[in-house]
Amino acid sequence: MQKIKSDGQTWYVMRRSYKDNHLYVFYTSGEMFTYRTTTMAYAVLLYLLFVSFFHMIHYRYARKNTEYIEK
């Protein structure tokens, strides 16, 4: 992906080859990063749920182990 500035606007260019042809796709900076914030928020949420789940499992086993040792 390349970044191009023209007439005060920022464009992002993606180039792909298909057989003997070169395909170019141009995106404005607004179109390129439209879903970035939402995607990052979901990724952080999933990460926190994942970490919380394993932390909860670890806490339960540690508590059971402590109860077993105290008996």
Which segment of 2-6, 46-50, 55-59 scores lowest on mean pLDDT?
2-6
**32 contacts 26 by C-beta, under 8 angstroms:** no
Task: Tokens for 11, please give them.
Answer: 């464009």
Spans of all domains in the chain: 1-34, 35-71
DSSP 14: E
Number of DSSP helices (H) and strands (E) in the chain, helices first: 2, 3
pLDDT at 32 over 80: no
Mean pLDDT of 24-28: 90
Residue 71 has pLDDT above 80, yes or no: no
Amino acid identity for residue 53 in this structure: F
